[in-house]
Amino acid sequence: MLTARATTSPDAIAVLDDRHRWTYAELDARARSLAAGFIDFGIGPGDRVLVQLPNIAEFVEVLFGLFYAGALPVFCLPAHRQSELIPIAKASGAVAMVTCHHHQTFNHATLAAILRDHAPDLRHLIIVPDRGKPGLPGGTHALDALRRVPKELPAVAASDVAFLQLSGGSTGTPKLIPRTHDDYLYSVRRSAELCGLDSNSVYLAALPVAHNFPMSSPGILGALWAGGTVALAIDPSPTTAFTAIQQFKVTITGLVPPLARLWVERAENSKAYDLSSLRVLLVGGARCPDELARRIGPALGVQLQQVFGMAEGLVCYTRLDDPDDVTLATQGRPMSPHDRIAVVDENGDPVPPGVDGLLITKGPYTIRGYYRNPEANASSFTEDGWYRTGDVVALRPDGNLVVKGRLGDRVNRGGEKISAEEIEAHLLDHPLIRDAIVVAVPDEHLGERSCVFVLAADPTTPPALGQIRKFVRERGVATWKIPDLLEVVDSFPETGVGKISRRSLRAELSARVSQS
Ligand code: OOB
């Protein structure tokens, strides 16, 4: 794809951030020079490489550099810390990591050095230095030190795995999602069509670009597929993003609902920025409240397009020419005529149309299994290969889905997913805690927040929320996973006979907090 674009429109602008402006020819040349460096380092076809970069132009050249070398990026988010990254490094068997020196005052280069001590395969640490600041940790390489004269590239098949994405809410053994070049590019092409991208489009990556949504729905890859331009904003705040929209004449971008709300509020209260270039705003990652959906068009002067997707595959969109009743109140329909969806009950039997049930799916770009994880595969796929999304949905007669919620094992905190099991495992190590259950509670701004129900080890000294938050933070987890609320209880509910599953316990407790 990049080779083709660099040949047909070498001088068109491919990538912009506040420090870089690269044409397609330049992006291609940069990616090829990095690929040569990766190959020189012994990083080649099939090797996994952790990529933890913020929204900077270098992300794009590293991405294509790795693709050209046949290596598989493993997409980590800038907010990930060692308790996520060590298991990811081990499960992927990554041989290298590309990261930045600092981002938002956090020292990622030091984090990379810590990872190297825990993950024996991690041999090369490659760092994008801070501008003008020396002082990379010993044994690391600056990204520019990799550049070589481009050389012949290894053969990579369209059906080869292109990269590993992380499943939202992964547990002890992270669920790594293997996507192939052909399956992913198919989803990118369909997305670009449905979101109206062409060579005049400028897509702004405001959400963390390693996430599937800004990467491919239609994302930076959709924009490059269409021969348009990718612009990157270092953070998604209205101030930073509105400046970028005005400066780069952005036409389309994507947001999670809490950020869409911030943008709407800012735009309703101030006309300081010229946002007139913006045509389409995609909103997804978590349920967009209907009231917010109605405000988006008038406040920002855009067409709202809802997107309900998952890194495992299936992506649904409302269409740009849908009536308001669809665009404002549903999460759309599958993007491919070859996607298959079914709404079933707990036994796997179809529920009648319009009735809430569990969404299962299979299709041309939905994975058939996680990477080296037979245990997750056994629970996440039906015997005949349907992926169990875990989402509770209703299918309207017009074919559009309305997302109602999820099975109670995950909190969707404004689009950032939290695995209840993962945080419970940390909490069980706290000396004041005998048992802990993490559930989602409704939240006006974030959609959901996390609440931990705790049985105290000693009822006379129950833990306090501050202690728990500090403990989880010090475990080195991404900030959004730190529990928001705490309820100390004397016992957990018992329903009926026998051992109650942690999943139903979560559901029970979650129903209780939602009612109160
Ligand atoms: C996107 O991908 P993931 O992998 O971080 O999370 C997938 C899950 C879905 O199973 C669902 O629970 C939730 O996120 N979700 C939504 C939603 N979009 C995603 N829930 C309600 N309404 C929506 N519109 O989040 C993702 C991937 C590609 C495109 C967009 C989002």
What the chain holds in terms of domains, given with CATH numbers, is 2-8+21-156 (3.40.50.980), 184-406 (3.40.50.12780), 410-515 (3.30.300.30)
73 DSSP β-pair partners: 49
C-alpha 17/C-alpha 64 separation (Å) is 17
| Inter-CA distances, 272 with 246, 269, 333, Å | 10, 9, 36
pLDDT at 514 (0 to 100): 72
Mutate-to-test residue for ligand 1 from 292, 296, 310, 318, highest number of ligand atoms within 8 A of CB: 310
Is the minimum distance from the CB of 380 to ligand 1 under 6 angstroms? no
Q: Write the DSSP string, 209-276.
A: TTSHHHHHSSHHHHHHHTT-EEEE-SS-SHHHHHHHHHHHT--EEEE-HHHHHHHHHHHHH---S--T
Using alpha carbons, select from 249, 330, 260, 253 the residue that is nearest to residue 299.
Answer: 260
Residue linked to tokens 């239609």: 218
Q: Which residues, listed in sequence order, are joined to residue 99 by a DSSP beta bridge?
A: 52, 127
Phi, psi at 50, each rounded to 5°: -70, 135
pLDDT for residue 500: 63
C-alpha dihedral sign at 208, 213, 216, 217? negative
Neighbouring residues of 196: CB distance < 8 A, sequence distance ≥ 6: 252, 279, 280, 320
> What are the 10-residue block averages of pLDDT along the chain, 516 residues in total?
97 98 98 98 98 98 98 97 96 98 95 96 97 85 97 96 87 87 98 98 98 98 98 98 98 98 97 97 97 98 98 98 98 98 96 96 98 95 96 97 91 95 94 95 94 96 98 96 95 68 80 74
Q: Is the CB of 307 under 6 A from ligand 1?
A: yes
Alpha-carbon span 322 to 331, nearest angstrom: 12
Which atom in ligand 1 lies closest to the alpha carbon of residue 410? 12
**CA atoms of 109 and 172, how far apart (whole Å):** 24
User: Distance between CA atoms of 6 and 25, rounded to whole angstroms?
Assistant: 5
> Residue 210 C-alpha to ligand 1 middle, in angstroms?
14
Which residue's CA is the nearest one to ligand 1's atom 2? 310
Q: Report the distance separating Cα 395 and Cα 330, nearest Å.
A: 10
- Are the C-beta atoms of 35 and 65 separated by less than 8 Å? yes
Residue 170 has φ and ψ, to the nearest 5°, of -85, 160
pLDDT score of 257: 97
Does the beta carbon of 287 sit less than 6 angstroms from any atom of ligand 1?
yes
**Looking at residue 170, what is its pLDDT?**
57
Q: Give the per-residue pLDDT at 168.
A: 76
Q: Ligand 1, residues 75, 191, 308, 403: which to mutate, most atoms within 8 A of Cβ?
A: 308
Q: Which atom of ligand 1 is nearest to the CA of 403?
A: 21
Residue 65 in contact with ligand 1 by CB distance below 6 A: no
Residue 217 Cα: closest atom of ligand 1: 29
